[in-house]
Amino acid sequence: MTALTPRERMQTLLAKQIPDHMGLYEHFWPETLRDYWPEQGYPRDADPVDVFHYDLRGGPWPIDPAPFLGQEIILEETDEWTITRNGFGGVQRNWRHKSGTPEHIDFTIVTPRKWEEVKPNLQYLNPDRIRLKECEEFLQKARREDRFWTFGGLLHFELLRGILGDVCMLESFLLEPEWIADFCETYTQFYIRHLTYVLEHVAVPDGAFVYEDLGFSNGPFCSPKTYRELIFPHHKRIIDFFHDRGLPVIFHSCGDIRQMVPHLIDAGIDCLQPMEVKAGVDIFDLVEKFPGKLAYMGNMDVTVLNSNDPKIIEPYLREKIAALREKNVPYIFHSDHSIPPDIDLSTYRMMLDIYRQEGVYNR
């Protein structure tokens, strides 16, 4: 097969077809590239898409969905952390020099009455929410490279977590489902309104990359029944919006989401990422249960990779990639979450060498 461009390769994979070679992309913990790898020879402040020649260039939503637009305030800070009230109305403590789940201290919108007060901020087209110049520049760069370009961000579940907080959200799923339904409907209309403007007046990406952490370590945050009733219809409408414009959707969800996969397929996702091994997700199990339904990105076990031992990593990767190739799985090489700082740069380069050797289809 003639070698494809990165854009063509991703388009083929996301159509659940087999191209010349497996795709390549990755996410990193910020401190990996910022603090650790420059000491090992990584070009400081360089873009990993350029350094490692990824097939995909992903960018954030060109739309700010915060109810309190532009109202992020630093409440307290030390050398180690900052406490901020963000545009979602949440108060969080964040580490300054390392990644990690922020400490959730307080939330503003914790009752239907509070929601009704801010909802009007989201019910009209507001060009101030759209980062026009950033979106245009990003598109131009991706097109010059002929890489597959996505923009994306949080959908309904992550917005609920960020605005209501986990406790209020989960309690309200059961106690006040009408509020949750109204929240989701408001944001579905918000996104369709603003995305329509972006696609018609600014730029059209090659696809969308949406982030919804539906799972924790040993199961989903809510039951599949609750998801199906409250969240699924809105996921489907957003995914249908992209599909109607010929744009495939990559769906990110951490944790153990095995119970959710049939519903995500029904919602129309094209690719599942990152499939955390440590949460029990196995790509081969998914391929067997849902043949031909998905492309896949991830599932390379970080707890193996961070051994930094070639005698452990090389046979693991070669065997797994070969099995994916032999089963003709439409696959994009990626860790099962993000590359942490305890994976050495030399280890990652070795991983890419193995991927390039083993990831050729129809050998």
pLDDT score for 142 = 75
Q: Kindly report the number of other CB atoms within 10 A of residue 120's CB atom.
A: 10
Which residue has better confidence, 241 or 134?
Answer: 241
Taking all residues of the chain, what is their mean pLDDT, rounded to a whole number?
A: 94
3-state secondary structure of 355: helix
Asked if 339 and 346 touch (Cβ cutoff 8 Å), the reply is: no
Q: Which of 13, 5, 8 is nearest to 361 (CA)?
A: 13
pLDDT bracket for residue 345 (50, 70, 90): very high
Asked if 94 and 80 touch (Cβ cutoff 8 Å), the reply is: no
Mean pLDDT of 120-144: 87
**Measured on CA atoms in the order 255, 357, 340, 73, is the torsion positive or negative?**
negative
Q: Which amino acid is at 341?
A: P
- At 211, list the tokens: 């982030």
Prediction pTM value: 0.96
In the chain the domains, ranked by start, together with CATH numbers, are 6-67+109-358 (3.20.20.210), 68-108 (no CATH)
Nearest-angstrom CA–CA distance, 112 and 160: 13
pLDDT score for 1 = 63
Q: Cα dihedral angle (18, 212, 157, 205), rounded to 10 degrees?
A: -60
Mean pLDDT of 13-26: 98
What tens digit of pLDDT does each residue of 231-282 get? 999 999 999 999 999 999 999 999 999 999 999 999 999 999 999 999 999 9
* Residue 62 preceded by cis peptide, ω within 30: no
- Residues in CB range of 148: below 8 A, 6 or more apart: 6, 7, 9, 10, 11, 55, 56, 57, 142, 206, 207
What residues pair up with 295 in beta bridges, in sequence order?
271
CA distances from 246 to 11, 163, 331 (A): 11, 31, 20
pLDDT score for 52 = 98
Locate all alpha helices (DSSP H) within 96-254, ordered by sequence. Answer: 112-118, 132-145, 156-164, 166-175, 177-201, 224-226, 232-243
pLDDT at 187 exceeding the cut of 90: yes
- At 136, list the tokens: 């245009």
pLDDT at 59 exceeding the cut of 90: no
Mean pLDDT of 301-306: 98
Asked if 188 and 234 touch (Cβ cutoff 8 Å), the reply is: yes
Nearest-angstrom CA–CA distance, 363 and 358: 9
What tens digit of pLDDT does each residue of 115-128 get? 999 999 999 999 99
What tens digit of pLDDT does each residue of 148-183 get? 999 889 999 999 999 999 999 999 999 999 999 999
Burial class from Cβ neighbours inside 10 Å (0-12, 13-18, 19+) for residue 228 reads middle
Q: Which amino acid is at 51?
A: V
Nearest-angstrom CA–CA distance, 260 and 356: 32
Asked if 157 and 214 touch (Cβ cutoff 8 Å), the reply is: yes
Percent of the chain residues topping a pLDDT of 90: 82
